[in-house]
Amino acid sequence: MTLPGFPFADLSLKSFAAYFREGRIRSRDVTQTILDRIDVLQPRLAAYSYIDHQGALARAAAVDALHLAGVDLGPLMGLPIALKDLYSVRGMPTNAGSRVDISDLVPPQGPFVTALQRAGCVVLGKTTTTEFAMGGINLTHRLPWNPCDSDVARMTGGSSHGSAVAMAAGMAAITFGTDTGGSVRWPAALCGVVGYKASNTHWPVEGVFPLSKNMDSLGVFTNSAADAAFVEAAIRGNDGRPAPRVDQLVLGVPMEHYFDHIDRDVRECFDDAVARLRSRGAQLVPIGVSEAHEHDALFARLVPAEWLAFFGRERFIANKNEMDPLVQTRASTGMDVAADEYLRHEKRRVELIALMSERMRGLDAWVAPTVVVVPGPVTDFDTIERAAAWNKLNTQNTRPGNVFAQCGVSLPIQHLRSTLPVGLQLCCAPGEDTHLLEVARAVEDVVGRAPAPDVGLLSGATNLERTVSICGPEVRDTEKESAAKQTGRPPRKA
C-alpha cells in the first residue's frame, strides 16, 4: 500500500498561493493527492464523517479553470479544506455527530462557508465531531485515532477532534472547527497541531449548528502559526502584518488555576518554552486570575440551558435514549435551570469579560499550558464518571477563555521535552485576533515547530510518495527552509 505524500508538509499556505498563481501547482492535482491520502488513512483514523470525492475534484477543476481564465479569487484559492460536521454546506449532510434526526434543525449554509467558497477553497467534506459538540468523548460513537501513537488509541480532545486529526495526518490543507469550551485548542494540543479559536464575534456563527449562543466561536487548524495568521488575514481581505519582535513582547503568566494538576511532561515543556522566550528578551510577568475557577459553575448551567433552548425540551426527552450517555447526562442538567439562575450566571459572565479585558491592558497575551495532561489511552475513560472527570480536567485551561470571550491559540511544543503532544496556549482580549496571531508567529519562531507524526505506520503503507510529484522537482519552500535553519530543525515530515 502506498501513502501519497502530504503536499503541505514542506509548503506553507503562503508559498502555495504564490505557486498556484504562477501556474506551478494545480488545485485538482493537490486535491486528488489529498483524497488519495484520505482513502488510505480514513479506515484507521476515522477523521471524516463525510467525504465528497467527486464534488471536490469538480470544484478543484473549476478553480483551475477560473485561474487559467485570469480570475483571482484571493490567497485561499485552490486550497482543499475540511469542515466540522456542524457547518452547513449546501449539498452535504449535517448530522452534528448524532444518530438523532435533526434535519429540521440544521440551519442553511451561512456566510462563513459562503465566503470560503467564494475565496476558491475546495471543500473535501465533513470531519467527525462528538455528538452535538457536547464534550470531548462519546462512549457509544467511534472516536478518531490520534496520529501521535500508532500502537495505542489515545484521547484526541473534543469536540473538533476530527478536524484536529485530519490536520495532524495531512488529510486537508486547512481544517475548521468550533470552540465553545476549548473544542479547537484542546484537540489541537492533544493531536500536536496549531488550533486558533477566534473571538466569538470575529467570524459569523450563522449556519453552524449551535451549542451555546453566547460562547460559540469558530476556529481553524493549521500546520503552523504562520499558516493560521495567513488564513485569518486572507478571510479578512488583508495581506497580514509582520510578527512583532520577541524582545518587545510582554506576556502574562497566570498565578492561579492554570497549573493545577499539571503533568510533569507538560510542565517541563512549558518551562522550556518560557525559558527560550526569556532568553530572547520577552518579558514574562505574573498575573492574578483567581476568577478562572468560576468557569465550572458558569458552564455547568449556561451551556446545557442554551443548548436545550435551541434543541427543544420535548425533542430531547423523546430522543435522549438514542443519544450518547454522556450527552444525556450533560444535557439533562439544563432541564432544571431556572430563568433567574440563568440570568444571574449570564450577568456574571458579562462582568468577567469586562474585568479580564481590563486586566490584560499592557500585556500582549496570556501564556499557559493549553491542557495540563498529555493524551492518555482511550481505554482509561470507559465510564461516564471517568470520561466526565477527564473532560473537566482537560478543559480546565480552555474554558476560561470562552467565559472571558478571549481569542486564543494553541501551539504544539512537545518537541521541547515530551514524546506525546503538548500545547502552549496564548490568549488575547476579545477582538484582538490579528494581534494574537502576530504574537503566536513570534513565539513559534522562538520555540520552533513540532515534527508531524509518522502516519505511514498508521496506514500500513509500505512507502511514501514524495511531495515533488505534485509540485514538480523545482518547487521548494524557501520560507520553511529558512525557518528550519534558524531553529536548527528540519522541515516537517509527511
* b/e per residue 297-309 (b: at least 16 CB within 10 A): ebbbbbbbbbbbe
Q: Nearest-CA neighbor of 215 among 303, 93, 293, 279? A: 303
| Per-residue cell: 427 | 490568549
Q: At 123, phi and psi to the nearest 5?
A: -80, 120
Task: Region of 229 please: left (phi>0), alpha (psi -120 to 50) or beta.
Answer: alpha
Distance between CA atoms of residues 465 and 30, nearest Å: 13
User: In the numeric block, which cell numbers belong to residue 462?
Assistant: 509500505
Give me the sign of the Cα torsion angle 12, 15, 17, 22: negative
Q: Contact at 8 Å (CB) between 372 and 393?
A: yes
Half-sphere exposure of 133 (CA within 13 A, CB side): 31
Residues 256, 178, 397: CA angle, nearest 5 degrees: 10
User: Which three-class secondary structure state does DSSP give residue 174?
Assistant: strand
- Residue 271 to residues 182, 265, 413, 442, Cα–Cα distance (Å): 22, 10, 11, 17
**Beta pairing, strands 2-3 & 463-464:** parallel
Would you state the cell numbers that stand for residue 200, as one nine-digit string?
Answer: 466569538
User: E-assigned strands of 293-370?
Assistant: 365-369
What are 222's strand-pairing partners? 194
Please answer whether residues 35 and 56 qualify as being in contact, where contact means their C-beta atoms are separated by less than 8 angstroms: yes
C-alpha cell at 432: 484582538
**CA-CA-CA-CA dihedral for 313, 317, 320, 325, to nearest 10:** 80
The catalytic residue positions are: 84, 159, 183
Smallest CA-to-CA distance from 17 within 90, 95, 89, 79 is with 79
CA distance 313 to 240: 45
SS3 for 430-461 is CCCHHHHHHHHHHHHHHHCCCCCCCCHHHHCC
Query: Cα separation of 119 and 234, whole Å?
Result: 9
Judge if the upstream peptide bond of residue 159 is cis by omega within 30 degrees of 0. yes
